[in-house]
Amino acid sequence: MTKFNKEDFTWDGMYLMYRGRHTNSINMDVAHPKCHPSWKGLPKPEFIARFKYGYKPYKAWINFLVKNVYVEQYLDLADEIHPKPAMRALGYGGK
């Protein structure tokens, strides 16, 4: 199991992604062989959540994930159910 690293999160105003390595990660050049050369050898970014409208608590999500959850644990649960219910199931009680 791999702990989240705060520096490996990226936020573009709508999407929260995780670019850190974990036990299930694959390199971008394996996932997308025609990727830009700058991506070669780097892990494929993992989708964490989309904050489309209204309040965007991405910093609270990052802090919760870093302190309480393993990468694989969250990704498995978020694949099974939507990211917001996954966070609630893990104990996040934000807005």
Res 94: pLDDT: 76
Question: Tens digit of pLDDT for each residue in 8-20?
Answer: 999 998 999 999 9
Question: Tens digit of pLDDT for each residue in 63-93?
Answer: 999 999 999 999 999 999 999 999 999 999 8
Nearest CA to 56 out of 89, 7, 6, 16 is that of: 16
φ and ψ at residue 75, rounded to 5 degrees: -60, -40
Arithmetic mean of pLDDT over the chain: 93
pTM of the complete model: 0.89
Share of the chain above pLDDT 70, in %: 99
